[in-house]
Structure 1
Amino acid sequence: MNLDEFEGARDDAAPIDMLESYFSAHGWQHERVGEDEIVAHVQGSWAQYELRSVWREEDHVLQFLGFPDIRVTADKHGVIYETIGLINEQLWLGHFEMWSSSGIVLFRHAALIEGSDDVSISLEQAEALVEAALDECERFYPVFQFVLWGGKSPKEAIAAALIETRGEA
């Protein structure tokens, strides 16, 4: 199924089912991890991203995680926490965090899906969840790299990575 067929075929579906259909329509490698979890792998401009979604039926919450393949060594935890704090000030949806035990940086957001026992999400909701995670991972990946590998301070890295360009080269 390609994206055009997908858009015309389904109005809404159970959250993990809709995401599975969305990933399939884009041709992204994905795998169901039980009934309530799915993992996909997407090649971005900067890195390959792991996208993971977990449905918590009892809370009606769909949690969406984007892993931009960034691992932080213990000696850099402090500067990355500062970087994450400055980045998160600029986000409207979701946030970045670092798992202290492993040094893995990730983007996380969740959606409260209201409904009765037959909870579903629309194509637009699935797209918004996925695109928000991918867009923010792509936008801020260079910031983390400038801090980790470029020796820049968090403020310098954000300023350098987020300059707005006009026109096309």
Structure 2
Amino acid sequence: MTVDDFEQERDAGAPIDMLESYFSAHNWSFERTGDEEIVANFQGSWTQYELRAVWRDEDRVLQFLALPDVRVAADKRPAIYETLGLINEQLWIGHFEMWASSGMLLFRHAALLDSNADPVLSIEQAETLVEAAIDECERFYPVFQFVLWADKTPQEAIAAALIETQGEA
């Protein structure tokens, strides 16, 4: 199936099935772990991302996670927690978090699907879920790197990473 073929299919489908079709259409490697979960890999501009979707039928929620390849050492966690707070203030959809047990950074958001019918995810919803996660990870990845590797304060890192360039070089 090509991306064009997929774009022509405007039917909605079961949430994990629709994401499988989306990943397949983009030629991304993926693996299903049953009817409720799928994991894909995507090479971004900065790093490799693991994209994970988990369907919770009892809640009618599709949770979507993007995990950049970033782990935070214990001594850097206070600065990253502050960074997460400042970044999350700027987000409309989803949020960044760090898992305390592993120091792994991730972006997470969810979609509530119709509770009065069979759960379906449209192509537009699938695209929005995936692209929003990737876009935010790509946008803020440099901020995390400035804090972790350049010893910048969270404020300095955000200011440095989010400078908007004008014109062309």
Q: The TM-score by the shorter chain falls in which range?
A: over 0.9
Match of 1:67 in 2: 67
Shift in Å at residue 34 of structure 1?
1.2
Equivalent pairs counted in the alignment come to 169
Match in the other structure for 2:36? 36
Alignment deviations for residues 2-22 of structure 1 (CA, whole Å, 9 cap, x no partner): 110111124210000000000
State the TM-score, normalized to the length of structure 2.
0.98
Moved over 4 A (4+): none
Matches within 5 A, 1:127-146: 127-146=127-146
Return the letter of the residue paired with 2:9: A
Q: In 2, distance between residues paired with 1:2 and 1:157?
A: 39
Question: What is the identity percentage for the equivalent residue pairs of Structure 1 and Structure 2?
Answer: 72
* Residue 25 of structure 1: aligned partner: 25
- Map 1:119-130; keep pairs closer than 5 Å: 119-130=119-130
Shift of 1:142: 0.3
Matched, 1:12 2:31: no
**Which residue of structure 1 aligns with residue 55 of structure 2?**
55
Deviation at 1:117, TM superposition (A): 4.5
Partner of 1:2: 2
Question: Alpha-carbon deviations, 1:38-85, whole Å to 9, x = none?
Answer: 000000000000000000001000000000111001111100000000
SS of 2:136's equivalent in the other structure is helix
- Normalised by the length of structure 1, the TM-score is 0.98
Secondary structure (helix, strand or coil) at the match of 2:87 reads helix
Aligned to 1:92: 92
1:162 is the counterpart of 2:166: no
Q: Deviations over 1:128-151 (max 9, x none)?
A: 000000000000000000000011
Gaps of 5+ in 2: none
CA RMSD of aligned residues (A): 0.9
C-alpha distance in structure 2 between counterparts of 1:19 and 1:124, whole Å: 11
Unaligned runs of 5+ in 1: none
Query: Following the alignment from structure 1 to structure 2, what is the Cα–Cα distance between the partners of residues 121 and 131?
Result: 15
- Is 1:104 paired with 2:140? no
